[in-house]
Structure 1
Amino acid sequence: MSTPFQQQITFLYAEKPEASWRFYEEVLGLHLAQDQGFCRIYAAAPGGRGFIGVCRARAPRASDNPRVEGGTVVTFVHQDVEGWYEKLKEKGVEVPAPPAYSATYRVTSFFFRDPAGYTLEVQRFERPDWPTPGK
């Protein structure tokens, strides 16, 4: 076994997934890898290694706080954080604050929410010890 896992999928659940599906397809431009009817799985990164699944929820979310048990933040890593910020603003996505540098984590990033209320982040690592994409 060369790596612990070959692929990774993060599943998100939405009471009204149609709005989320449009968001991930049309706003973020993710490629639809599989449509299972009640759940759509999108390629989140090239190479078929990372995916986001957006499924119809069976019950309302227990909390909007991503830092409680069961909460989540989905982070998309890209060198052009500022470009993504502008693109999302142009598409009408509410982004509470522009990209900012965190000295604690040595990243530049910004946060926003998808239509189901999940916290999303676009981030660039500002440190040489983060693996180069594709390696």
Structure 2
Amino acid sequence: MSAPVRPVHAATEKLITFLYYRDLPAAMRFYEDVIGLALEIDQGWSKIYRVTPNGYVGLVDERRGSHRANDIKPVQICMRVADVDAWYAYIREIGPAGLREPRSNAELKIRAFVFNDPEGYQIEIQSALD
């Protein structure tokens, strides 16, 4: 019997990370108004936002999705940007929970900071160090 043939990843159209919320409208306002993402696919109880050309974050109403919102958030959304310090200056003005100042990490070759969305998911904004 021959081994199965795996499809090529180049044929993958989108990568969507789904997060589950108790208050979907508050999460939507945050990702639209603060982060600046545009709603790409509206499925009613699931809202999918484009982050990169093929990378998306999906916000799901816990009452309808496959999972329930949980106080423990073992998921981090990380966005690589051109100017981490400009993003930090902007986010600092918003004042979200969990905001930490940017730090450089020579080993990882990044400069990054973190903060939390309205229900506690951590967001990391990072830039590559030259």
Query: 2:12 corresponds to which letter in structure 1?
Result: F
Residues 71-93 of structure 1: CA deviation (Å, up to 9, x unaligned): 21110110110111111122232
2:96 is equivalent to residue 93 of structure 1? yes
The root-mean-square deviation of aligned C-alpha atoms, in Å, is: 1.8
**What are the superposed Cα offsets for residues 19-42 of structure 1, whole Å, 9 maximum, x if unpaired?**
110000001110110111111100
Q: Read off the aligned partner of 1:28 and give its amino acid letter.
A: I
| Deviation string, structure 1 residues 17-76 (Cα, Å, up to 9, x no partner) | 11110000001110110111111100112x3x0111001114340524xxxxxx211101
Which runs of 5 or more residues in structure 1 are unaligned? Answer: 65-70, 128-135
1:18 aligned onto 2:6:
no
Work out the CA distance in 2 between the residues paired with 1:7 and 1:93: 29
Scaled by the length of structure 2, the TM-score of the pair is 0.82
Question: Which is higher, the Rg of structure 1 or of structure 2?
Answer: 2
Runs of 4 or more, structure 1, over 3 Å off, are: none
> 2:105 is aligned with what amino acid?
S
Normalised by the length of structure 1, the TM-score is 0.79
Q: Which digits, 9 at most, give the CA deviation of each residue in 1:113-134, with x for residues without a partner?
A: 101110110011225xxxxxxx
Q: Once the two structures are aligned, what percentage of the paired residues are identical? A: 32
Q: How many corresponding residue pairs?
A: 119
Gaps of 5+ in 2: 1-7
- The question of whether the paired residues in 1 share the 8 Å contact of 2:92 and 2:99 is answered with no
